[in-house]
Amino acid sequence: MRPPEVLRRASAYLARHDVESPLPTAEALLTSVLGVDRAGLYTRGQDLTPGEARAFGRALCLRCAGTPVQHMTGEQAFRRLTLVVRPGVFVPRPETEMLVEIALAELGEAPIVVDVGTGSGAIALAVKDERPGATVFATDLSREAVELARWNASRLGLEVDVREGDLLFPLATELRGRVDLVVSNPPYVGADAYGALPPEVRADPVAALVGGPALYERLMTEASSWLRPGGVLAVEVGADDGETIAEIFRPSFDGVRIEPDLAGRDRVVVGRRR
């Protein structure tokens, strides 16, 4: 069978199993199995070999059982970059691209930026890519995340200093009071809500998902002592958490605002250090 017909059937199969975006999912899995780009799927004039058909069938079954597509393809697009991703490190989400957009709008040409909880390096690398004059640091508690972020930085040729540890503690003390932007997409799912998350979300590490206001409060306190006066703290928040997090920021930050996403849900909270 030729790829277009394979895709039609695979997409119907994924839809029957309630997988979101069935056709793009089938395309992503088949491009990965065949080692071609999306256009190549539709122009390939040969049938799938039995080995390719078996590998694709396995990938479809794994997806239906809750394995994220990105764990099978090994990559995720984020703004202008293609990041390597792997199980054990949070897969960057499209909604976080908006946090980068908002953060960039706050920056001059040669700012000092810190991405706290960098995961695969998505935010830090996108900022460096789109604001090459920036000096960018990134931290993460997870050794696996630090290794992956460093790998992404080196393969993309983007200079980001990635350090292992809690919040901003891994940074050199001479940066205190000099940072222009602290940006973060911290874990924000409540422990009570974790069990109700879909399996493909629970495929991310628990430590990358479960957190909440106490972590934002620690981040806000730490960020206050590393940011210069007027420096910006920009964080992603859960859909209903904007006001709770904005309240945490207000005692130390000016101009605190909640930015909604395209669906009108709370997405980003921003403020300037007093």
Ligand X SMILES: C[S@@+](CC[C@H](N)C(=O)[O-])C[C@H]1O[C@@H](n2cnc3c(N)ncnc32)[C@H](O)[C@@H]1O
36 three-class SS: coil
Residue with smaller CB distance to ligand X, 99 or 246? 99
Which is nearer to ligand X, 22 or 92 (by Cβ)? 92
CB of 189 to ligand X, least distance (A): 9
Cβ 80 vs Cβ 130: under 8 Å: yes
Q: How many CA atoms lie within 13 A of 119 on its CB side?
A: 29
Least Å from the CB of residue 214 to ligand X: 11
Q: How far is the CB of 158 from ligand X (least distance, A)?
A: 15
Q: Which is nearer to ligand X, 64 or 141 (CB)?
A: 141
- Cβ-closest position to ligand X: 117
Which residue stretches of 21-82 are H helix? Answer: 22-34, 38-43, 50-64, 69-73
Q: How far is CA 26 from CA 9, 60, 128, 179, in A?
A: 9, 8, 32, 43
Q: How many CA atoms lie within 13 A of 117 on its CB side?
A: 23
Nearest-approach distance from CB 187 to ligand X, in angstroms: 5
DSSP 146-161: HHHHHHHHHHHT--EE
Catalytic-labelled residue, pool 56, 186, 249, 253 = 186
90 is catalytic: yes
Question: Which residues contact ligand X by CB under 6 A?
Answer: 90, 92, 96, 116-120, 122-123, 139-142, 145, 166-167, 185-187, 207-208
Query: Quick one: 69 or 123, whose CB is closer to ligand X?
Result: 123
Q: Which of 22, 68, 152, 185 is catalytic?
A: 185
The C-alpha angle with vertex 260 and arms to 131 and 99, in degrees rounded to 5, equals 20
What are the catalytic residues? 90, 185-186
